[in-house]
Structure 1
């Protein structure tokens, strides 16, 4: 789509490409639109890279979260991580050469984040990174590489925690480039809490609040090998004591599931859920078992017990402050954790600083100040 008429001065490219991005950009767009009505100077161009092209992973989120139709869709589609990164860089470079921008705003840690940051910097377009500075220390995670590369070439860093600030300081980033603003994904959650709605299958299956678990799994270490994956599902079923386990199946996970001869009856496979339905399920679950990072933030704010099947996390505040516990990838770790839950001994947790629903406004205020300077 052409964006002719897009004024370069104080114009921001907002990059989104995959499901985790959409919750993070929605409140920023809303804050920019609000400031526009108040006479604010910033304008934006929304660029969808097409990294997630399945409507269940992309389109539903745009509709539910009130995100406008993208000004540009690079339509990169499927491929290996390198193929997707190359396609995104090529497409975004061509757009910037044709219609430049003053700033590239990237969020999170997906391939689109890294690829657009690289393309922008090579054309001397400054980069701002929302959710900068988080680290797991696990180079086996593609997201960790994306974070490190993006932050190595970022101009301005918008962070979710003091831990992220410290990670950036250790990398030599000055405090004048670090802005501790909070968590835009929590802006989205708090802004939509009264709109959450139950999926149709909840009534059909007779699921009751507090009477089921939610599971999400997609990390290669958990789902790529059918044998270990089957053992993990068996441990989940045993530890949850026959209670229903709702499992929205990520496309990556579905491939391995098809190779299994079967799985426990209590595990109920469902399609990937839209935002409002998924978070209704999380809010009313007895607990969540996951290998996602973002979900641990949402469970922390909603006060829902969470168990993370990973050996590291880039969001340690969900453990030190929130409701999350890191169990590792050994299925044997599940039963003691679930026994603790059933005994009523799970920690209550708290909410990290600045996870208050006002993050996007703080980001836009800083951008107005920063873009009022000469680069």
Structure 2
């Protein structure tokens, strides 16, 4: 089986790592890593290859910057050129980013089989580019691996054939369980935190939040009030930094807000593990906090990960100062019923690998 992992954005690497490692040493599998370049900042991707002990990508397209549509066009053309000259392969795509849809659209023209890891998630908000990507990839993929019950339900309700869909659990949690023992006390990661001091962690990057001056200001008005009670550590996403500069928002003036450059996976996990509460618009952090039992406040109008709410770790709040303040207050109330969602057990990569080999063996046409 010639298997090609297509990655491009930071969350893709966390999802790919466990599956790549699980398939190493299997004589029947040849693995190739294709990196589109969607996240080109070394802090946004190279550190993941280092920390996950992954080899350099076999193919690096270096497609960076530009608008989403321009990125998609360039990726589609470049990936198409690569796949057109390869024998029938299994193309594994992860999540919902531009690189994911580009690879799937390129592969569908040929005899390659498309595998979607993290299929079926839905926010039902089609103003989000990620939502469109999810829907389109799920419609054309040949094998769909879902992380939670809602994903399975959505796909079956949309008419996807039942035998294409497999509920395997959350592969991001494989990475978390594998590396959590390497985490350090948060005060070693963040010098401004005294040993044992309570603090919050914030991440913010989604266009719906950061591309609106009024919404972004409103969010940081709420964060300022939280920061007056607990230090708030903010590893600043490049997009958010640019928008704050463009809108004249001086984050450095917010007392208690600790600004940092993007940090590596293990350092971030160290901060999250020790936090009193996490505030985010990231899908991955909603999942990671659910797995380790840290209260999470999701600053969005919707979430495609309802299992994190159902398990009691996550609260969805409006992106307003009032919503944030209320959400943190609610999140800090102890919840004895908090639990980890089903199959988020660190063995998802093994389940995917075994099913992939079975899937490949059962479809002789893939080798034709």
Equivalent-residue separation in structure 1 for 2:24 and 2:334 (angstroms): 45
Q: Deviations over 1:65-88 (max 9, x none)?
A: 112111111111211111111111
Equivalent-residue separation in structure 2 for 1:109 and 1:121 (angstroms): 17
Alpha-carbon spacing, 1:362–1:138, altered in 2? closer, same or farther (3 Å): same
Q: 2:100 aligns with which of 103, 113, 125?
A: 113
Counterpart of 1:364 in structure 2 is 353
Counterpart of 1:139 in structure 2 is 126
Equivalent-residue separation in structure 2 for 1:197 and 1:182 (angstroms): 27
Give the C-alpha shift of residue 185 in structure 1: 0.4
Give the C-alpha shift of residue 370 in structure 1: 1.1
- 8 A Cα contact 2:215 2:319, kept in partner: no
Q: Are residues 1:160 and 2:151 paired?
A: no
Equivalent-residue separation in structure 1 for 2:62 and 2:185 (angstroms): 32
Q: 2:91 aligns with which of 100, 104, 112?
A: 104
Q: Deviations over 1:103-161 (max 9, x none)?
A: 11111110000000000011231101000011010111111011011111111101111
Give the C-alpha shift of residue 220 in structure 1: 2.0
Alpha-carbon spacing, 1:332–1:84, altered in 2? closer, same or farther (3 Å): same
Provide TM-score, normalisation by structure 1. Answer: 0.92
Give the C-alpha shift of residue 345 in structure 1: 3.9
Unaligned runs of 5+ in 2: none
Give the C-alpha shift of residue 18 in structure 1: 0.6
Equivalent-residue separation in structure 2 for 1:211 and 1:184 (angstroms): 30
Equivalent-residue separation in structure 2 for 1:59 and 1:31 (angstroms): 21
Provide TM-score, normalisation by structure 2. Answer: 0.94
Matched pairs, number: 361
Counterpart of 2:344 in structure 1 is 355
Residue range with higher mean Cα deviation, 180-189 or 88-97: 88-97
Equivalent-residue separation in structure 1 for 2:296 and 2:129 (angstroms): 23
Q: 2:267 aligns with which of 274, 277, 282?
A: 277
Alpha-carbon spacing, 1:256–1:362, altered in 2? closer, same or farther (3 Å): same
- 8 A Cα contact 1:45 1:71, kept in partner: yes
- 8 A Cα contact 1:305 1:346, kept in partner: no
Equivalent-residue separation in structure 2 for 1:46 and 1:202 (angstroms): 30
Q: 2:241 aligns with which of 233, 254, 263?
A: 254
Counterpart of 1:21 in structure 2 is 12
Q: Deviations over 1:224-277 (max 9, x none)?
A: 233432222121221354311001101110012222145411111100111000
SS in 1 for 2:24: helix
Counterpart of 1:320 in structure 2 is 310
Alignment of 1:1-375 (within 5 A): 10-34=1-25, 36=26, 40-197=27-184, 202=189, 204-209=191-196, 211-258=198-245, 259-261=248-250, 263-342=253-332, 344-346=333-335, 349-373=338-362, 374-375=364-365
Give the C-alpha shift of residue 165 in structure 1: 0.6
Alpha-carbon spacing, 1:341–1:320, altered in 2? closer, same or farther (3 Å): closer
Give the C-alpha shift of residue 97 in structure 1: 2.0
- 8 A Cα contact 1:210 1:286, kept in partner: no
Equivalent-residue separation in structure 1 for 2:83 and 2:212 (angstroms): 41
SS in 2 for 1:349: coil
Unaligned runs of 5+ in 1: 1-9
Residue range with higher mean Cα deviation, 199-208 or 355-364: 199-208
Equivalent-residue separation in structure 2 for 1:224 and 1:201 (angstroms): 33
Q: Deviations over 1:11-50 (max 9, x none)?
A: 111111110100000000010014x1xxx51221111111
Alpha-carbon spacing, 1:328–1:201, altered in 2? closer, same or farther (3 Å): same
